Structure 1
Amino acid sequence: MTAEFWRSDALPQLESRRSCREVACYRPHTHDRFSIGLIDAGESSFTGASGRAVELRSGDVLCIPAGHVHACNPEGGRWEYQMIHADQTWIRRLLGAAGPEAGETERLLGAISVFRVPGLHRRFDALNERLFAGGVPDPARIGDELRNGLRRCARAVPLHREAPVSDPETSTRLRAVIARLRDDETVPTLDELAELAGMSRFQLIRAMKRTTGLTPTSWRHDHRVNAARRLLREGGTLAGVAAELGFADQSHFHRVFRSHVASTPGSYRA
């Protein structure tokens, strides 16, 4: 099985991927959508913002909320996996943000969860098979199947759960740094960012790693890759997206995108 992406105008809230990789390494990254990962074959290692490694095996299911740093990489040899990405606001509506299900929904959307639950992988695998089967998907049926699978996740006990670090004081001090990394078309220096936060360069790096799981440079790359994915989904050209997001050239765009997505921008767009 080679890398393969699925998208449909009938369900713009959803995209999916099936992939087989050998020694493909993802840098720590985030998704701008809620993600469901399925390990189909082989062994791999998951790490979140804490850096703690969790060994994954065939049949495991991961639920990764939008914006949560993670990386999954093979433990030697070949591994196969699937990823379903869905707009998180849509997922929240599907699961119910009020009533008896509200607490379950917030737990699922509040932390990365790894599940080793019999039958759970099979449920999402069947959903993905339906997406890749061709034809126009039935949004109501897909929504029902996704809701039922995620509600089962929300009620299950995870093998591993990783919530983001909560440090309001540091997050406040980093607010101007994040805004500069997100909005400045130029590349701000570490000294400039440290001055914005009122920290030394080393304090800034440690604070960013502790609160976001990424260094300032990695955070900027990750943000731009997520923006690139959105623009490519909307039909943007490779050259246009690279220029709009301030990459030095298409080669630089290609390298950064591939290190986060383990696929080229052209393959993702196709």
Structure 2
Amino acid sequence: MKMVVPNCSNAPQVFKIDDKLCSFVRRVLPGGHLLEMNNAFHDEVVILAFRGSSWLSNQDGRTYHETPGSVVLRDAGQVFSTKTIHCDEVNGSDCHEIHISQEGLQNILNAHGDGEYGTFDFSNPVLNHEDLHRRVIHTLSVFESRECALMKSTCLAMLFRDIAEVTHKKATNENKRRSNRRHRDVVEYMRENYDSEITLQSLSELANVNQFVLIRQFRDEYGVTPHQYLRTYRVNKAMKFIKQGLKLADVAQLCGFFDQSHLNRQFKRTVGVSPGKFFARILE
């Protein structure tokens, strides 16, 4: 199903396709348009390729320059900040995104891979690889057109397999991967139990490190503390429930907030507007 989100002439346009394998998003920025996102993250794995713009991003305490011709990988739950540093004044920019769950990505790699590269290595999120960049854009065009299911699934599987190979050739040392695995367990636990009370002690026991060490290491890797990550994740979930028309009191309970007042404070602190104003903008 293809969906077009209408926007005013000076704002980005968003085109989305939902498929049983994954979803595809194409964002079109008008000439000279600049965007900035701070401490954001996706619920799914995202693969991006863009034309007509350059970006400066930060994650894991490192800065990356994302240019046309590169492919950007965002792991599910990975906190990042990014801003446009250049957008073509005449033709604008378009960003092609592939969104897929971690489970869906693994299923495709297991089904079509040869076992040598089990999954993506996200330790190097920016791949300066023009062939992969071209193929990301081509894959989205295949799903936008009326191509057969076999071509779609083959194109997607080969792209994922080759990204896995390229990223593993750029992988960092094993010690950092083990540290990332501990923090990944913490992230997965918070995402699975966001509607419940979560303590720093329970997270430190899960990671098998001292509480203060966990805060420092987690912040070094993700750019935020575990508490800030959980707050943002809960607000993201609240936004989805609000879009569905649920009452704010119910949303607060579903998302692990103490009450509606607690939801209001944390929502405004994260999004910049109250839940009520956010819902009003959706209606507009």
Give the alignment's Cα RMSD to 1 decimal: 4.7
Q: Which residue of 1 aligns with 2:141?
A: 129
Alignment of 1:7-86 (within 5 A): 7-8=17-18, 10-11=19-20, 13-20=22-29, 22-49=33-60, 51-76=61-86, 80-86=94-100
State whether residues 5 and 268 of structure 1, in contact with CA within 8 Å, keep that contact through their aligned partners in structure 2: no
State whether residues 19 and 81 of structure 1, in contact with CA within 8 Å, keep that contact through their aligned partners in structure 2: yes
State whether residues 181 and 216 of structure 1, in contact with CA within 8 Å, keep that contact through their aligned partners in structure 2: no
State whether residues 113 and 162 of structure 1, in contact with CA within 8 Å, keep that contact through their aligned partners in structure 2: no
Q: Per the alignment, in what secondary structure is the counterpart of residue 96 of structure 1?
A: helix
Q: Which residue of 2 aligns with 1:87?
A: 101
2 CA distance for matches of 1:43 and 1:118?
15
2 CA distance for matches of 1:216 and 1:239?
28
| Alignment TM-score, normalising by the size of structure 2 | 0.64
1:104 alignment partner, one of 117, 120, 123 = 117
**Higher relative contact order, structure no. (Cα contacts within 8 Å, ≥ 6 residues apart):** 1
Q: Which residue of 2 aligns with 1:220?
A: 230
Distance verdict in 2 for CA 1:149–1:237, change over 3 Å: same
Q: 1:28 Cα deviation (Å)? A: 2.6
Q: Which moved more, 1:23-32 or 1:157-166?
A: 157-166
Q: Per the alignment, in what secondary structure is the counterpart of residue 182 of structure 1?
A: coil
1 CA distance for matches of 2:238 and 2:150?
29
Q: Per the alignment, in what secondary structure is the counterpart of residue 38 of structure 2?
A: coil
Over the matched positions of the two proteins, sequence identity in percent amounts to: 18
Listed one character per residue, the Cα deviations across residues 100-155 of structure 1 (whole Å, up to 9, x for unaligned) are 7323233x15544322223322221122234445x7x8554322211111222233
State whether residues 44 and 74 of structure 1, in contact with CA within 8 Å, keep that contact through their aligned partners in structure 2: yes
Distance verdict in 2 for CA 1:120–1:211, change over 3 Å: closer
State whether residues 47 and 74 of structure 2, in contact with CA within 8 Å, keep that contact through their aligned partners in structure 1: yes
Listed one character per residue, the Cα deviations across residues 201-230 of structure 1 (whole Å, up to 9, x for unaligned) are 976642431354422342023322553576
Paired residue type of 1:101: D
Alignment of 1:110-259 (within 5 A): 111-132=123-144, 139-156=149-166, 166-167=178-179, 178=190, 182-184=194-196, 193=200, 205-210=215-220, 212-228=222-238, 236-237=244-245, 242-243=251-252, 244-245=254-255, 246=257, 248=261, 253=267, 256=270
State whether residues 6 and 132 of structure 1, in contact with CA within 8 Å, keep that contact through their aligned partners in structure 2: no
State whether residues 61 and 120 of structure 1, in contact with CA within 8 Å, keep that contact through their aligned partners in structure 2: yes
Q: 1:33 Cα deviation (Å)? A: 1.4
State whether residues 52 and 87 of structure 2, in contact with CA within 8 Å, keep that contact through their aligned partners in structure 1: no
Distance verdict in 2 for CA 1:57–1:130, change over 3 Å: same
Q: Which moved more, 1:213-222 or 1:33-42?
A: 213-222
Listed one character per residue, the Cα deviations across residues 7-36 of structure 1 (whole Å, up to 9, x for unaligned) are 43x526434242427332212333221210
Distance verdict in 2 for CA 1:166–1:23, change over 3 Å: farther
- What 5-or-longer segments of structure 1 have no aligned partner? none
| Alignment TM-score, normalising by the size of structure 1 | 0.67
Q: Whose Rg is larger?
A: 2
